[in-house]
Amino acid sequence: MSVSHRTRSVSCEVEMDVRESAELVWSVAVARGPELASEHLSITVDGRPVEVQELTVADGGRLHLGTAPPGRLVLTYAAEVTGHAEPATVDPVDAIVYRRPSRYAESDELGPTAWAEFSTLEGKELLDAVSSWVGTQLYYVSGSSRPTDGATQTMLLRQGVCRDFAHLVIAMLRARNVPARLVSVYAPGLSPMDFHAVVEAAIDGQWYAVDATTLAPRETLVRISTGRDASDTAFLTVQSGRADLVSMHVTATAVPDLPLDDLTRLVSLT
């Protein structure tokens, strides 16, 4: 079945205790690009609606900003994605920004390792080698990393979750002068289900998906947000006040089928 005929259904539900009035920024909506058959976002506190403002960022991601009073907050989001976005292209600013070290992808610190491991490789061969190397160097262990851990700490610990795999891939690629960025996605086929983090790397002016965890087929991934690292792509930012996470549930499915991911192919997020 062609990917153009595959429907992806995504959703999330988040519950929080708002301890004091809090300004919240959510990044859970599907980024602009693919056609949506339906979409619904609801945020309530103790059953009363919270008004939000939608803001669109340069990469097509959508932020929802609102102020929540104290109480039990419930966010629900659901979308049915029937179309596919055009593959993302690399502009001159991207080629500069996404080569730089960042908070969680310390490519300057990891440069010697990157050059020792991958000095003779370029293009797709480099992407494949870095993804394979990170996938074999790290163990995927739920809850094994701290929110403050970056790529250097991940390499020392040799374990992590999807964002840690992504940060190490990004750092290795940037150290080899390849623009690389982190993308938060809905991922049909992921187990355990959650928001997922993958990498986009630039080859010949186009972004291609790299996922060293190989936990979900790249063809079905649905972009939420894009940035230098996890500091730009968090599903929630508490800008003021206090709000504590109680529970979160994410779903993502693809029909009529979940394709096998051919790791020998270059795949763009669409």
pLDDT of the residue at 59: 85
Cα torsion angle, 34, 35, 38, 40, sign: positive
Q: Could you tell me which residues come within 8 angstroms of residue 24 by beta carbon, excluding any fewer than 6 positions away?
A: 65, 66, 67, 68, 236, 237, 238, 239, 243
β-partners of residue 7 are 255
DSSP 3-state of 265: coil
Type of residue at 76:
T
- Token readout for 129 is 């080698």
DSSP character string of 136-161: HH-EE-TT-S-TT--HHHHHHHTEE-
Q: Where are the alpha helices (DSSP H) in the chain?
A: 92-97, 111-118, 123-137, 151-157, 162-175
Q: Give pLDDT < 70 ranges for the chain.
A: 1-4
pLDDT of the residue at 106: 98
Contact 240, 22 (CB under 8 A): yes
pLDDT of the residue at 3: 45
Q: Could you tell me which residues come within 8 angstroms of residue 218 by beta carbon, excluding any fewer than 6 positions away?
A: 198, 209, 211, 261, 267, 269
Contact 60, 1 (CB under 8 A): no
pLDDT of the residue at 143: 87
pLDDT of the residue at 246: 98
pLDDT of the residue at 2: 41
Find out whether the peptide bond into 256 is cis, omega within 30 degrees of 0. Answer: yes
Q: Supply the pTM of this predicted model.
A: 0.95
Q: Which of 261, 166, 145 is nearest to 211 (CA)?
A: 166
For residue 270, give Cα distances in angstroms to 60, 164, 191.
Answer: 12, 23, 21
pLDDT digits (tens, 9 = 90+) for 191-209: 999 999 999 999 999 999 9
pLDDT of the residue at 204: 95
pLDDT digits (tens, 9 = 90+) for 25-84: 999 999 999 999 999 999 999 999 999 999 999 889 999 999 999 999 999 999 999 999
C-alpha dihedral, 16 to 19 to 21 to 22, nearest 10°: -50
